[in-house]
Amino acid sequence: MPDSELTRKVFDAEIVDDETVTPQRKRWNPRSGVTAGIRAVFAGQDMFARVRPVVSYRVRKAPRDLGRLAWFLVRGAGRWVSRGWRWASYADLRADARAARVAGDPQARRTAQDLIRSDARARWAKVGGAVRRVLVTASVVTALVVLLALLDALVGREGMPGWLRGLYDLRDAVTDAAAVAWSWLPWLATLGALGAAVWEGRDRTPGAGWLTHPDRTDSDSWVDERMISKALAHLGIAPLAAFFKNGGELLYSVPARKDGDGTHTQVRLPLGVTAEMVTDRRKVLAANLGRAALETWPTTGEEDGVLDLWVADKGTLSGGAGDWPLLHEGTVDLFDGVPFGLSQRGTVINAPLIETNWLAGGRPGQGKTNVLRVLLLGAALDPTAELWAYVMGESPDFEPLAPRLSRYRVGMDDTVAADAVQALEDLLGEMERRGKVLGEQPGRPPKVSRRLADNPRLGLHPLVMAIDECHELFQHPRYGKQAQELAVRLIKRGRKYGIILLLATQSPTKDSIPKEITRNISCGVAFAVADHIANDGLLGSGKYRAGIRATELRMKTDRGTCVAVGVTDNTFELVRTFYVPFDDGNDMVTPVIHRAMALRAQHPHTLTTGHTPLEIEAPPDPLADIHHVLNQETRVRTQTVLARLAALNPDVYEPWTARHLRAVLDEHGIPPRKSDGHMVIRTDDINTAITHREHARDDTGNQGPFPAPSPHRTPCPDQHKQAPGTRHNHTRNTPTTRPEPGATTRHPASLPHDEGRGRHDD
Ligand SMILES: Nc1ncnc2c1ncn2[C@@H]1O[C@H](COP(=O)(O)OP(=O)(O)OP(=O)(O)O)[C@@H](O)[C@H]1O
């Protein structure tokens, strides 16, 4: 018997699993139905048992609640009246005028009075416009109604066309509905007005009951002028206490209002009291307001007699800043800044880097290095930026950034200090060169702009140098003095040339950081510091006295939170910095650097090589690269081409799929080709496309996507050997560089004298 006859045949089947079987097993069981019913009843009873005490409690409290409702009604109506009066009498503007008179500011007073006049004019103009609109509408509607009535009387509905009869039906329906609504309207209007008045008059103080709730979701966060005045009255400042005792009322030039995650206000203090007297009693003020000292920020306003107060909502500052916005995607334009942290108001601060220099400091382990790393990471996502980093100690903190760093040295030995000084010297030379380049530009622009930075021929791209633990460099017995001088000159003059210095230190004393640096630095960042000397060393002199105090930050508890000046237009910011983890087993920095590398590979960019001429890297040329990897074979399978491209330039081609390849071929008019059922690319097609492209360039005079070399550039004898599309790494040979991991496979050196030397750029 043949085998096939022994095989069982299945004509119809169904895959059966537990779920399909279970419903068939569940038959109706009268007993279980009864049990379920009883359970439902008991569940209902549970519910009833829960609801009953609530209802009885409400019933007992009903008289009190009704009383409160009545009181709210009266108070709401009162509030409306007073608001109406304020509106009608321009009370706010009059108060401004009065405040200006008290402050002895005639200009402000005149402005307030002018505003009252112009407001009155605008208001009457508005009323006139509204009356005119109402009159016109009423006349049109009346004319229409009269016309319809006349027509109805003269012609009769029977003689009218269908659409006109429809119009009459509509009119009648609207009239009937209006008549019904009219009979209800007084009731509805009264009820609505009563409800609105109760709502308006509800208790707005914290802790109000079920009928009321404060404007904030968190009643703990409530801080108003009454509470602030009370807190100030109990600070133990004699003139302030006397002022309140005599029935004085403080003048709030900025009323207490929600500002991000807190409340902001400005108070004009009475005679004999300065803002500094209040900032000195910050802890008492915080306690009086029911806040931690860190959550209470009294500072001097525009004048010594004006107190600027910001009080954080309770507990909001203890939360971290969350993920760095660029952690998973996004690029940076350094001219717009780098997301750096959350301000006390809960908004993201875009830290400015262009035209600034930074000094970050604080006690050990509070987050300085992370700030430097975040700024460098952000800069790395601007493909035009060139980055250098010097770490004056043995630390792997910047290791994952290495592929994107053109210069990178780590260590405590003298060679690192020597290289850092050399780098500062190179930056000064570069500054001179940039000054000349700017001077040669049409219109002699005073500083580097995005447009100029984008032109790789000029070499005016942003150049960021970070020095971690910079006090080690500035205090170095041999190189310290020179480093100080160079850094000061750079900080003073380098900003407009797109040269940015980022410094971080544990020890911001006058011996470790030159005074000229702390004086001229534009962005100061202070994590928890020990005393007012360190505070003012980082943030600028007088900041401690003005109440801008990183001394309030607590070691460990406030790790990652810093006081920053110069990062926004505000006098200071309390910043919860973004943290990009680089810890044992959690490295979120490397993926960002991979993105940064891929981005940079797609842009022509310049490297600064000390006093030597600029080198310009060419962007990849996919057509030439395909030609290169075809290796003169007649045809090669598409998948093989993709693999070879990825090996040739992984940064650019590793993410490529057949679709990317197809797009390039389509762009050059190369049709899809098949051989033995496989998609292939033919060398002939690519050769033809390249020839066409060359002709097209000759015709238009266009030099193609590669930027022409710098006029100063020394031609490399073997430059033509460079694999097309790979990036040229021609940099000055200085001991400040170190070999890039994998540099030999990924970026073959095009110059024989580059072989074996330190790396400079990606
Ligand atoms: N913004 C932040 N959010 C949360 N944790 C942070 C933040 N910044 C730093 N940290 C934590 O603090 C630790 C120390 O950070 P970092 O190395 O930046 O401090 P540092 O001040 O540079 O220390 P050192 O002076 O020792 O170099 C980090 O490993 C991290 O756990």
pLDDT in tens, 536-583: 989 988 889 888 889 888 888 888 999 999 998 888 888 999 999 988
Angle at which helices 622-630 and 658-667 cross, to 10°: 110
Residue carrying the six token digits 């409400």: 58
Looking at residue 377, what is its pLDDT? 95
- Strand order across the 673-675 sheet: 635-637, 678-682, 673-675
User: In this predicted structure, which of 6-15, 362-371, 483-492 has the lowest mean pLDDT?
Assistant: 6-15
Say yes or no to pLDDT of 591 above 80. Answer: yes
365 lines ligand 1 (CB under 6 A): yes
Nearest ligand 1 atom to the CA of 371 is 18
Which pLDDT does position 699 carry in this prediction?
A: 56
Q: What is the pLDDT of residue 697?
A: 62
Q: Check residue 204 and give its pLDDT.
A: 58
The mean pLDDT value of the chain amounts to 79
**Strands, E assignment, 496-572:** 499-505, 523-526, 561-565
Q: How far apart are CA 614 and CA 609, in angstroms?
A: 7
Residue type, 229: S
Provide the pLDDT for residue 727: 34
- If you measure from the C-alpha of residue 579 to the centroid of ligand 1, how many angstroms do you get, rounded to a whole number? 8
Ligand 1 binding pocket includes 579 (Cβ within 6 Å): yes
pLDDT in tens, 421-437: 999 999 999 999 999 88
**Position in ligand 1 atom list of the atom nearest CA 506:** 25
C-alpha of residue 367 to centroid of ligand 1, in Å: 3
Query: Interior CA angle at 737 toward 734 and 738, to 5°?
Result: 135
The token pair at 227 is 């509470």
Query: Which distant-in-sequence residues (6+ apart) come within 8 Å of 92 by Cβ?
Result: 86
Contacts of residue 314, defined as CB under 8 A and 6 or more positions apart, other chains included, come to: 218, 220, 221, 290, 291, 295
- Model pTM score: 0.54
Nearest CA to ligand 1 atom 11: 367
Q: For ligand 1, say whether the CB of 320 is within 6 Å of any of its atoms.
A: yes
Q: Is 620 in the pocket of ligand 1 (CB under 6 A)?
A: no
- CB distance 106 to ligand 1 below 6 Å: no
Supply the pLDDT for residue 554.
85
Cβ 368 under 6 angstroms from ligand 1: yes
Q: What is the mean pLDDT of residues 61-89?
A: 90
Q: Cβ atoms within 10 A of the Cβ of 441, count?
A: 14
What is the predicted pLDDT for the residue at 751?
A: 27
672 labeled binding residue: no
For residue range 168-178, list pLDDT tens digits in order. 889 889 999 99
User: Which of 243-257, 369-383, 683-697 is the most confident on average?
Assistant: 369-383
Protein residue closest via CA to atom 23 of ligand 1: 365
Q: Rounded to an integer, what distance in angstroms lies between the CA atom of residue 606 and that of residue 707?
A: 11
**Domains by residue range for the chain, with CATH:** 219-317 (3.30.980), 349-583 (3.40.50.300), 622-704 (1.10.10), 706-762 (no CATH)
- pLDDT digits over 351-406, tens only? 899 999 999 999 988 999 999 999 999 999 999 999 999 999 988 999 999 999 99
pLDDT of residue 518: 87
**Ligand 1, from 559, 563, 587, 588: best to mutate by most atoms within 8 Å of Cβ?**
559
Is residue 691 predicted with pLDDT exceeding 90?
no
Question: What is the CA(507)–ligand 1 centre distance, in A?
Answer: 16
Q: Is 581 annotated as a binding residue?
A: no
Q: How confident is the model at residue 709 (pLDDT cuts 50, 70, 90)?
A: very low
Distance in angstroms (rounded) separating the CA atoms of residues 653 and 26: 59
Q: What average pLDDT does this structure show over 19-45? A: 46
Q: Each residue of 447-461: b (16+ CB within 10 Å) or e?
A: ebeeebbbbbbbbbb
Task: Output the CA torsion 565→568→572→573 (10° steps).
Answer: -100
Is position 364 annotated in a ligand binding site? yes
Going from the Cα of 365 to the center of ligand 1, the distance in angstroms, rounded, reads: 5
Q: Which residues, in sequence order, are CB contacts of 483 under 8 Å at separation 6+?
A: 417, 420, 421, 424, 473, 474, 476
CA pseudo-torsion sign 363, 300, 511, 428 = positive
Is residue 362 a known part of a binding site?
yes
HEC profile for 234-251?
A: CCCCHHHHHHHHCCCCCE
Q: Is 367 in the pocket of ligand 1 (CB under 6 A)?
A: yes
pLDDT digit string (tens) for 96-141?
888 888 877 788 888 888 888 988 899 899 999 999 999 999 999 9
pLDDT at site 13: 47
Mean per-residue pLDDT, 646-652: 81
Q: For 490-508, write each residue's pLDDT tens digit.
A: 998 888 899 999 999 987 7
Task: Compute the distance from residue 114 Cα to the ligand 1 centre, in Å.
Answer: 54
In 42-57, which positions are buried (b, 16+ CB within 10 angstroms) versus exposed (e)? eeeeeeeeeeeeeeee
| Residue position matching structure tokens 């700017």 | 438
